[in-house]
Every structure is written in structure tokens, then in C-alpha cells.
Structure 1
Amino acid sequence: MARIRFARYAVPVLLSLLLAACAAIRPEPPRVMPGPPKVLRSPARPSVEGSWTSPEGATVSQLRHGVFTTVAADSRARLASGNYEIKDGMVEISGYSMVRQSPLAIRCLHVAPNQMNCTNSDGKQFVLRRAQGGV
């Protein structure tokens, strides 16, 4: 009879101890080491630097290191010059037109790697295409 009492109490006690031991040796989740904050970057935009031509090929515009120049494709005579900068995704060109002998202001949207849609200060719209082999 003593054996039955022992078995009746011993089995639940041993099971409780076994479960407690399993819970105590449960592996800890891996610790995440703090690191520098991740910076989400937008995809890189193609550069506007390089040579751009008018649709009919009469002019060639150069955009290099913030400097803008336009020359006649046939004679290479300078037609306009100035500066450009990129603001809010727009290419803003300001300078002087030798043809009109007046200041110029042009805003272009770089819509594709090889195309910019532009509007001058008079509201005239035109397209510039990247010159063949130009970057």
C-alpha cells in the first residue's frame, strides 16, 4: 500500500519537475544586435549630364557639371549658354540666348534615360533627346 501512495504522489511530482526543467532550458530567441539605422534610398536616376539634341538635330546642348551650352550642329556656333541645376526632379536651365540676345529660362522633366520634355519661359514645349553615344 505504501508503494501505491508513493506512485500516486511521486508520478505527478516527477512530471511537474520534468516540465519545469524543460521550460527552464528552453533556448532563448536570438538577440538582435543594434546597428546603424537602415536608410531607404530611391532608385538612382539616370544622369542628365552629356549631349542632347533637338528633334530635328539642328542643335546640340551640353550639360556638364552645372554648365549648359547649346551650339548649332552644323557650324558649332554657340547659340546659348548658362547654368543648370536639378530641383524637385526638374532640370532648371538659366542663361543667355545669343540668338535672341536675351535671358533664357527652361525647365525640363527627365522622362526617360534618353529624353527630356522641356518648356521655355514663353511656354513653348520641346523635346531633347540624348545624342548618340553621348553621356
Structure 2
Amino acid sequence: MKLNFRHAAYLAMASTLVISGCVSAPQGGYGPAGNVRASSPVEGQWSDTQGVAISTFSGGAFQSVATDTGNKLSEGTYRQVDANNIEISMTSLIRQTQMRVNCTLATPSQLNCTNAGGQNFSLIRRG
């Protein structure tokens, strides 16, 4: 599948936002062993509503890959600000730019996010 400029730009933006704005770092109390943190409610895989990218959030790190090629689109870190808000700091590997994304956990399966430029997007938890 050939990508035109508009599709490539959307793919870069969506993957960057998905990866960097929709994951949070583990937060919470320590477990019985005294050194295990509770997992974040956003841990796992999320897809943008257009089906362009899949973002994985794990242990404070994230990455986004294109659904059609599997190529990595962005990577970064995330942290949980409070029970429903996540802050992502990421780098778009396509544009070589850094971006901050803020997300709200609207439901256990939907993240509503806004990037620093004011663009809104949603991520849906995968299976």
C-alpha cells in the first residue's frame, strides 16, 4: 500500500499520539514483597480509532507501530498523573520530533488524548 503525504502525516501524528499519550507509568502501593508496584490501568495494547497504529504501554515505556507494516512509529515514556490522567512524552521516529500528550481514561477501554498542539484523538483497548 502506497502512502500519500496526507496519510503519512496522519499516520505519524496518530502513532505518535497513540504511543506517547496513552500510557501511564505504574503507580500505586507496594505489594506484599515490598518492592512490586501495582500495574497501571493503561498497561497493554491500544489502537487508534482509524486503525493506523497499535500502541503498547508497559512499565512506563511505550511504543507505537504501524498496523500495515509493523514499523515502529514512535517511542517514549508515560506516567500516571492521577487515577484517570496519563502524561506521555514521546518521540516521533518519522518526523524526529518530541511531543507531549495528555490522556484521560474515559472508560477502562477508551483513552481520550490531546497533544501539545491541541489535536484530539482516542485510543481503544485491544482485545
What TM-score do the two structures reach when normalised by structure 1? 0.62
The structure showing larger relative contact order (alpha-carbon pairs under 8 Å, at least 6 residues apart) is 2
Give the 5 Å matches for 1:3-22. none
Q: Report the counterpart of residue 80 of structure 1 in structure 2.
A: 74
Identical columns (%): 37
C-alpha displacement of 1:97: 0.5
**Aligned pair 1:129/2:124, yes or no?**
yes
Residues 1:110 and 2:124 are matched in the alignment: no
**Which runs of no fewer than 5 residues in structure 2 stay unpaired?**
1-39
What are the superposed Cα offsets for residues 8-59 of structure 1, whole Å, 9 maximum, x if unpaired? xxxxxxxxxxxxxxxxxxxxxxxxxxxxxxxxxxxxxx71100000001110
Give, in angstroms, the shift of residue 95 of structure 1.
1.6
- TM-aligned CA deviation for residue 131 of structure 1: 1.1
Partner letter of residue 87 of structure 1? V
Give the aligned partner of residue 49 of structure 2: 55
Distance in 1 (CA, whole Å) between partners of 2:42 and 2:74 is 18
Q: What value does the CA root-mean-square deviation take over the aligned residues?
A: 1.5
CA distance in 2 between counterparts of 1:102 and 1:47 reads 27
TM-score in terms of structure 2 length: 0.66
Aligned pairs for 1:29-68 within 5 A = 47-68=41-62
